[in-house]
Structure 1
């Protein structure tokens, strides 16, 4: 590790509190969210301005340091964890939290990349507007990390992923130059859309410092229901029917398995008050900005049709905001339930919505054959084809050892099924350090070569987040 004097130029640049080098203070920045990797860094850099980010990038190049941009450190694939031996400094934008502007007539929000997602949502809500990006970690994740991983979340079905919400972007490049494209235009056809290169790149091309996001009218009116699915209920057909019969007012369509619901009940030590049917359960929500749209009537009519066809056995409607929140609390605490049970090995699968049932049937057969008795927890945003297909660590087994065994074995069979169905091994988590071997294994060689070529073009010296996505 470099001596303390090697960090003095960074201290001079960033001022008091701008450089954390005490191991006790840097430790939280070096442990990935799932506690699968303990990284190492000489220091954590905490700039307050874009100019400071430019300055620290130039210093890092001059003194031979690599840089790892880090948002809220809530990722699942180790993309923001500095690797031991790489001499990487963590760059945290936690002090860059300025809401730059909200334009209620243009429906846009511009802000620093260090803004916590929930704070950005609140800034929009103060103007009667909606920022639809919504994640379980929204109280701690930061927008720069959301952009870096192209975060998905709970409302992709209606509003799209992070990539679809970005109008403008600002980033510091590997040589300290500033790429500034903070336009608030919806029509801006001036050639290659360079800002899109940074979205989903996990900080490997530059450090995102600012963003302009699309907003929508506040969706103040909701209709929410918990559906108990019948045996063999065709989930793709149900999802399609719901979209048609509600005039596409559905914002979320979340599948919850009986096992996942049971994990929540075990963690709470009490019955959840809700049930799954033989086919599991769906948490369904419609949203609108106008009271003139009879959402409850639309929802009831849709459910009646599904029940008549035997797809839904029973349904509980949220009659108050408290009941709605109680339903959502179950969905959002499933990861905590898995952790309470000893942890899980997470598979972030995406397949075309039309092939969801095929995936669940084939994957279930593989697990039953290869790991009988292992508890499955599957749930997710199936309205957009994303299923979190997780294996719970058996009681008494070491979590890390079980994780390694699954990832070396059955995980590849599950990924093979997804890919055979036209899907992907990474729906919304990204690649990071944990899945870079999967990227190399399952990605078309031409695509992989282009990814590497883009990396070389933006960062020929390998300053930016070396080891994330690509090895070397």
Structure 2
């Protein structure tokens, strides 16, 4: 290292294209929501596990901190380097290899830098399904999905990222390699150490590889747009559909009238779909078998829902184009929020049985404390996750409104969720933006365990200092 080039040693270790500096670091140092401008002396781009080990050892020797980063699509600043901390970003974008797909083991083994959509395509080429599905799947990377324990659209049936992991390898803060890349579904050999790195947001090491579970490709689908009656019991509807369809429900997405209106406003035209007084649900069943008549199963279930008065109308997709049109509405709600001036995103989870209670109680809090503020709520409510987003009022600065909400009413809404057995972070994680919430709401024993594990693996605080584990 020289005073004129503090990252010279990394250039030698990583070779051509392995180190980015200056303006080339811009897209790596600002968070996805434009809430935080970070700072990094350089972005490191290793090509192999050995190079990751080398850069970790160099960082420790040269006094740099490291911030692992996937596709930089997170919502809580967990992959953004902080100004004044002398941190380097580690991007695994050049480690994106699909190592293998095993159609008999139903597994996919790949580098942590693989883009999620590429991993899905690799599975699909063998008539298999990688069920992790996110709005950002065309740009997010598996290392980031693992670091945040990403959720997404199909958690109801397949679980979070954590539930898909069979094997994992990671470079530890001392440069050693933890490798547990077995493809086994039964392997009881003590602590399940690989799970320490899932949801750890890069604070315990740099994940470099993963083995994921696959399923048979779900080539047969039945998709419907349901208009909910006023006061429709969403938990009961979801439970009824799971039972009546032999648990073939893949997604159960709630869409409120306000969220649908945002999409129409952005498009400048009606969406072609409507909500009932209780909102709408985008429902999809899927199967790998051509012998299961999904449309018949779905129709029978919907007829029962109508007889009970829980839904007022339903539109079934009769073609792939109609199915895609339904999904396009759901997937562009975040874009509609952004088009309307942005939103403050509260990522709530409650037990599904308490969802209706949460919406009523949180709505009452909002009406009393911030009357007139536009609300957009939608999400994967089949698994208890609702994105409860407050729209920035016209003419108000987005960052100032964000601070006003997060310092005030957000805590009251979180309190409602927690009182119902819920959480203030369903799938976004903690990162840098929610550290105060973790330390405000988490059980003290949980905090002690987190800090003990962090100190045990990373006593010098090399990995992603400022994210999650550090007290605000």
Q: Report the TM-score, using the length of structure 1 for normalisation.
A: 0.99
Match of residue 306 from structure 1: 305
Provide the C-alpha distance between the structure 1 equivalents of 2:4 and 2:61, rounded to a whole number of angstroms: 16
Maintained 8 Å contact 2:203/2:469: no
Provide the C-alpha distance between the structure 2 equivalents of 1:3 and 1:95, rounded to a whole number of angstroms: 28
Structure-to-structure mapping, 1:317-396, within 5 angstroms:
317-396=316-395
Matched residue SS, 2:51: helix
Match of residue 10 from structure 2: 10
Q: CA deviation at 1:6?
A: 1.8
Maintained 8 Å contact 2:169/2:210: yes
Q: CA deviation at 1:264?
A: 0.4
Q: CA deviation at 1:5?
A: 2.3
Structure-to-structure mapping, 1:224-263, within 5 angstroms:
224-263=223-262
Matched residue SS, 1:168: strand
Matched residue SS, 2:5: helix
Q: Does 1:74 align with 2:73?
A: yes
Provide the C-alpha distance between the structure 2 equivalents of 1:238 and 1:4, rounded to a whole number of angstroms: 64
Structure-to-structure mapping, 1:201-280, within 5 angstroms:
201-280=200-279
Q: CA deviation at 1:238?
A: 0.4
Q: 1:215 to 1:12 in 2, by over 3 A?
A: same
Deviation string 1:361-400 (CA, Å, 9 cap, x unpaired) is 0000111111111000000000000000000000000000
Provide the C-alpha distance between the structure 2 equivalents of 1:80 and 1:163, rounded to a whole number of angstroms: 19
Deviation string 1:402-442 (CA, Å, 9 cap, x unpaired) is 00000000000000000000000000000000000000000
Structure-to-structure mapping, 1:93-242, within 5 angstroms:
93-242=92-241
Provide the C-alpha distance between the structure 2 equivalents of 1:283 and 1:68, rounded to a whole number of angstroms: 37
Deviation string 1:285-318 (CA, Å, 9 cap, x unpaired) is 0000001001000000000000001100000100
Matched residue SS, 2:202: coil
Provide the C-alpha distance between the structure 1 equivalents of 2:219 and 2:157, rounded to a whole number of angstroms: 16
- In the alignment of these two chains, the number of paired residues is 471
Deviation string 1:164-222 (CA, Å, 9 cap, x unpaired) is 00000000000000000000000001110000000000000000000000000000000
Provide the C-alpha distance between the structure 1 equivalents of 2:453 and 2:263, rounded to a whole number of angstroms: 43
Structure 1 gaps, min length 5: none
Provide the C-alpha distance between the structure 2 equivalents of 1:133 and 1:446, rounded to a whole number of angstroms: 31
Q: Does 1:420 align with 2:419?
A: yes
Q: CA deviation at 1:27?
A: 1.0
Matched residue SS, 1:468: coil
Q: CA deviation at 1:470?
A: 2.3
Matched residue SS, 2:433: coil
Match of residue 432 from structure 2: 433
Provide the C-alpha distance between the structure 2 equivalents of 1:28 and 1:418, rounded to a whole number of angstroms: 35
Provide the C-alpha distance between the structure 2 equivalents of 1:232 and 1:387, rounded to a whole number of angstroms: 17
Deviating 4+ runs (over 4 angstroms): none
Matched residue SS, 2:7: helix
Deviation string 1:132-161 (CA, Å, 9 cap, x unpaired) is 000000000000000000000000000000
Provide the C-alpha distance between the structure 2 equivalents of 1:269 and 1:47, rounded to a whole number of angstroms: 45
Deviation string 1:50-77 (CA, Å, 9 cap, x unpaired) is 0000000000000000000000000000
Matched residue SS, 1:145: helix
Alignment root-mean-square deviation, CA: 0.9
Q: Does 1:448 align with 2:451?
A: no
Q: CA deviation at 1:471?
A: 2.3
